[in-house]
Structure 1
């Protein structure tokens, strides 16, 4: 009986094995026979998936400035790229096999290959279905902590690097909230601010950095608009500035922000535009030409001074490097650079105009024209003239205006000692009154207040502890131009150090004051009348 059972088991096993072998063989034969069909199907499905990917990529590119892709789309796209890569490998392999005679392609190899085609085809179909993204695959981009701006290199210019390092040090102090960068127009304040914005430490210190330009032509509403754009706030339907301010405040609440305000002309109520006091180390850094602005916004003030003569010449050289080595141009180039008053903005503007001049005669003519500015218009210097004229007009007090113009009698960049200048103002009757008691002391006090005001609005440069002041060349040229239009303030300072001793009688007759400081003058006309 045991023998019968064993025989039956063996018989059934053999039958099952036979059936399995038969089924396996049939499957392999079917797969082998359907290889061409599976290949064509794979090609068609791959084209559909590639088209879908292309459409999505075009959509992503179209909205790349404001939108980004979802995480699910990113995962899907990686799977698509990998699957299409595998499909391409199989297609290439099929093309290679087609070059061989059919009988050399083994049945098992064909069936295995056909099975892979079938599986890849199923993966592609699944990806096409998953790629419908009914909920969409684009979302608003998260706010970047810092938007980089184009910033001139300041490496090698300590006069610009030093204030930047001072600002960075102050930003590490959580107790400070406002930092002012103060100096005359063109001294490099905006350049420092741009380098601050791009500094690698800034992105680590703050959740968001907001850059906004604030000048006389821009309103607080425009400033709110710029801040709203930076924060990606939808404020089209918000009409009232108070509502915009509330929206900005809510968005910044809890964030550690750095607000960079460039060209601040007057005091700003930060709360009115929506800037909250978060008490979490948030900061406001601003640039201004007017010191009085700093009193309401700044806990610390950093003054930016003009470049040193060596720095100014190096910057000018870098900007006219293509022509500076031409014969006989360097001596004239040094005189041109000197006219730039060591101000980076002027150096950039004037160097830009001169770098296209490739002959000594062109440089000489350009220098003569430059020395006549602003009597004749120089392209690129209109902004500077307009600003300085604006500062002059803002003095309002005629006495202050005449005191400012009086400073143009002294050579550019020279040290005008405070005590001496105040005595001159008093002697000229520009400060003080003739009937006042303690006339001299009162005149001196009034003169000191005027002097302080002129330095605060960047029309005069303050020397060490106000022992002396100076006027840079650009401001002096504007002052002389203004004085030439006013019969009561017409000056004669036109003699250079190398000019002849002789003065035309007409020079005396037309001038109210004549400056002969540092002049090689030995004889005077017989009569100044």
Structure 2
């Protein structure tokens, strides 16, 4: 019984399995092994197709810069998934094959075998279908152009304000072209990159194009970059002419809203400095207001901005960094760890940053150079060489920084302009260089063209100064001075040191003794100005020197033989040596000298030996109060003299007026008159008095209580007039024939009235239509500036005087009785500054809400006085309250 039961149990599973095989799912088991082999073959084929397709895709993407088609990308992704799934099933196959029995039509594990068989059959169909869909005639296409392409950029410091200005301009419909200008290395390209990346990161409807305008074929280079960006570039493009390219670009861009970003430089090569760029010639439509297209460009030159578009509000200057941000940038490059290596290093770092004067290029270059310097002595040395304008000795600085800055110099219009620029480095660091003084030195050295008259030469000099300001190589300081950025000055000295024209410049470095040089014979210019040198007791053998600046020292003694070996010297400046009482007789050796400046010295006499200076064209003895002796016939011996400056000179001008009549080339004259009789007598020398005089000082005037301005009113070139310490002077007469005349005081720009206690008003200044500065000090009796009564008489004859229409500065100091400037409000169209100090009775200013409208006016004075000012109305008070700045004595 037991055996029969046992057999019965062992046959049960077989009967069940056979029953399953007889059902419709038997095929999954019966075909399992064949399907498994077929799947392996199909997968191998699919892998081969995938490899071939991937190879075609890589060639298209890497070599042709195309983008794979979405359907190809989808097929490859699907194939990858199928291959991975199929490989996993194939790995499991042998195990399921082993479970088959009865010729492969039954299995010991029916459920799992049927399930596996289904998976194999399904995957086989999917793989076959994927293979059939893998035939692509093309695998990639040109990608759609992005609206903007992100540019690599480092974090910046201090550009936020400029960025906001540019971005704000971009939002204005009426602005189509925006110029970004500034010194080389100040951050213009970084700013433009920020603008580009802002476009990349925000939603907008502009098509943004970045292009670099190079010096070599600028239009063609920009055209190529534009066509690449807008998808025009192809094999036949290079063979097209410039005009054909321009036409193609125009046809595309005129239908787009574009933002063209034109950069003038690419660090570190700086191949790409450029001037005015002709957008139309390149095929760029001038940005129309209709679609809001924009052009933003960078340049080192302000004049390029004006040529590209004259709207001043759309020309944005990138300034150097203020001290705090400059130090932050420097710290980023040098590393805070370095600054903590010694307690004094941080203080020295501040001095280094100060020498960089906020120029990012210098801060970065010197910061990197100092990053490895961990000792106090290294930092002390670096500070010393920077103060001596010798940054090129620091590792990498000379090669990294100066060549980039030098490109602006290389692009100056001529060798003449370059020489004039290099000359500016003779002045000390941070020195405000008077424009007229600079031009006169250029003339003395022969740097300018030969002109028929001095005025024409000066005009050329001022034109060159304007060009250097436009190139951001000089900085404008007011109307009459320029300044050279510290790093630009260092670069200039580096250029001069590398060139054949050797400079020896030790200005403003607190020298106490006469310095030494290895090869004086190679030096062409020497500047020792701004030091503390007392004695010049060693002969300088400088056969090639043409300029020698010794001004602003403490000179007491110049040995007689000091000038013996300077036969080529043309410009000598001894000014502001306030201990210098005597000139050496050896100055007669300077037979080539054309320019001699002795102003603000204590020279007591001019040596007769100066007669040897037959080529002298410029002699300045202004403010030499102690000068008592000028030998007879000395001045007349200077037959080529063009400029004679004697304002503030102690020697009476009447004594040499007759000699001046023999100076046929004299163009510029400044004089001091101490007596009315002197003035009247001098007015008879019409040649000089009407044509040559540029500045007059009226001093003392003890012989009269009134002054007839007839003698001064007709001076054609009178620019400055000073009335000083005329204690008896009560009035300046305005005569009817002057009023009715024409051309009175048309050149007068500056008037100073000082210590004239009996004057009641200065109404006569209404005759100076171009007056820019009016200074009145310590006039105890002055009650009003312009008398309404006198002005009424004048206006009756002259009509509308347009009073003070050009005035820029009004300075009133220690005028205890002053009550009125003028009784009515004035427009003050160009007024920049009013300074009122110790004028307790002046309660009302000639201002209303329209005065100085649109101008950045500053009013300085004592806070107590300001609180008591009476305003015409509330709107005037509101308009001018923010303009006040307390005057600090």
The equivalent of 1:274 in structure 2 is 283
The equivalent of 1:126 in structure 2 is 129
* Structure possessing the higher radius of gyration over alpha carbons: 2
The equivalent of 1:179 in structure 2 is 178
Tell me the alpha carbon deviations over residues 138-182 of structure 1, each in whole angstroms, 9 at most, x when there is no partner. Answer: 11122222222211212xx33x12111211111122332211100
Supply the distance in 1 between the matched residues of 2:498 and 2:24 (Cα, whole angstroms).
Answer: 105
Pairing 1:455–2:463 present:
no
Tell me the alpha carbon deviations over residues 196-230 of structure 1, each in whole angstroms, 9 at most, x when there is no partner. Answer: 11115675334422212223234322222222233
Supply the distance in 1 between the matched residues of 2:27 and 2:516 (Cα, whole angstroms).
Answer: 118
Supply the distance in 2 between the matched residues of 1:427 and 1:240 (Cα, whole angstroms).
Answer: 50
Tell me the alpha carbon deviations over residues 417-469 of structure 1, each in whole angstroms, 9 at most, x when there is no partner. Answer: 7xx443564588579999969x6xx8987665444332111111234x65754
Query: Which runs of 5 or more residues in structure 1 are unaligned?
Result: 1-20
Match of 1:306 among 301, 320, 325: 320
The equivalent of 1:7 in structure 2 is none
Please identify, of 110-119 and 424-433, the stretch whose mean Cα deviation from structure 2 is larger: 424-433
Pairing 1:526–2:526 present:
no
Pairing 1:148–2:150 present:
yes
The secondary structure found in structure 2 opposite 1:276 is: coil
The equivalent of 2:45 in structure 1 is 48
Shift of 1:330: 3.5
Supply the distance in 1 between the matched residues of 2:61 and 2:215 (Cα, whole angstroms).
Answer: 34
RMSD: 4.0
The equivalent of 2:364 in structure 1 is 348
Tell me the alpha carbon deviations over residues 464-494 of structure 1, each in whole angstroms, 9 at most, x when there is no partner. Answer: x657542111221243456679999956434
Q: Check 1:100–1:23 CA distance in 2 against 1; reply closer, same or farther (3 A cut).
A: closer
Supply the distance in 2 between the matched residues of 1:188 and 1:119 (Cα, whole angstroms).
Answer: 65
Shift of 1:116: 2.5
Supply the distance in 1 between the matched residues of 2:372 and 2:95 (Cα, whole angstroms).
Answer: 62
The equivalent of 1:320 in structure 2 is 334
- Contact kept, 8 Å, 1:337 with 1:347, in 2: the verdict is yes
Supply the distance in 2 between the matched residues of 1:149 and 1:353 (Cα, whole angstroms).
Answer: 26
The secondary structure found in structure 2 opposite 1:131 is: coil
Give TM-score scaled by structure 2 length.
0.49
The equivalent of 2:800 in structure 1 is none
The equivalent of 1:137 in structure 2 is 139
Match of 1:290 among 294, 298, 301: 301
The secondary structure found in structure 2 opposite 1:287 is: strand
Pairing 1:372–2:387 present:
no
Larger helix proportion, structure 1 or 2? 1
The equivalent of 1:14 in structure 2 is none
Larger strand proportion, structure 1 or 2? 2
- Contact kept, 8 Å, 1:492 with 1:511, in 2: the verdict is no
Q: Check 1:519–1:421 CA distance in 2 against 1; reply closer, same or farther (3 A cut).
A: farther
Aligned residues: 493
Supply the distance in 1 between the matched residues of 2:439 and 2:191 (Cα, whole angstroms).
Answer: 37
Match of 1:32 among 29, 32, 57: 29
Q: Check 1:427–1:163 CA distance in 2 against 1; reply closer, same or farther (3 A cut).
A: same
- Contact kept, 8 Å, 2:359 with 2:487, in 1: the verdict is no
The equivalent of 1:16 in structure 2 is none
Shift of 1:368: 5.8
Shift of 1:194: 1.2
Q: Check 1:54–1:173 CA distance in 2 against 1; reply closer, same or farther (3 A cut).
A: farther
Query: Which runs of 5 or more residues in structure 2 are unaligned?
Result: 1-17, 265-272, 534-552, 564-889
The equivalent of 1:3 in structure 2 is none
The equivalent of 1:64 in structure 2 is 61
Q: Check 1:375–1:101 CA distance in 2 against 1; reply closer, same or farther (3 A cut).
A: closer
- Contact kept, 8 Å, 2:32 with 2:97, in 1: the verdict is no
- Contact kept, 8 Å, 1:182 with 1:289, in 2: the verdict is yes
Shift of 1:73: 1.9
- Contact kept, 8 Å, 2:250 with 2:284, in 1: the verdict is yes
Supply the distance in 1 between the matched residues of 2:197 and 2:356 (Cα, whole angstroms).
Answer: 27
Supply the distance in 2 between the matched residues of 1:278 and 1:492 (Cα, whole angstroms).
Answer: 49
Shift of 1:86: 4.3
Please identify, of 359-368 and 219-228, the stretch whose mean Cα deviation from structure 2 is larger: 359-368
The equivalent of 1:216 in structure 2 is 215
Match of 2:509 among 496, 512, 526: 496
- Contact kept, 8 Å, 2:300 with 2:408, in 1: the verdict is no
Supply the distance in 1 between the matched residues of 2:140 and 2:515 (Cα, whole angstroms).
Answer: 79
Higher relative CO (Cα under 8 Å, sequence separation at least 6) belongs to 1
Q: Check 1:396–1:137 CA distance in 2 against 1; reply closer, same or farther (3 A cut).
A: same
Tell me the alpha carbon deviations over residues 97-156 of structure 1, each in whole angstroms, 9 at most, x when there is no partner. Answer: 5798989854244223312211211111111110111x21211122222222211212xx
Pairing 1:394–2:396 present:
no
The equivalent of 1:246 in structure 2 is 247
The secondary structure found in structure 1 opposite 2:173 is: coil
Shift of 1:286: 0.8
Supply the distance in 2 between the matched residues of 1:495 and 1:60 (Cα, whole angstroms).
Answer: 68
The equivalent of 1:408 in structure 2 is 425
Tell me the alpha carbon deviations over residues 365-422 of structure 1, each in whole angstroms, 9 at most, x when there is no partner. Answer: 555666325699822134235324315x525556x853x44543443345x27xx443
- Contact kept, 8 Å, 2:451 with 2:457, in 1: the verdict is no
Please identify, of 507-516 and 348-357, the stretch whose mean Cα deviation from structure 2 is larger: 507-516
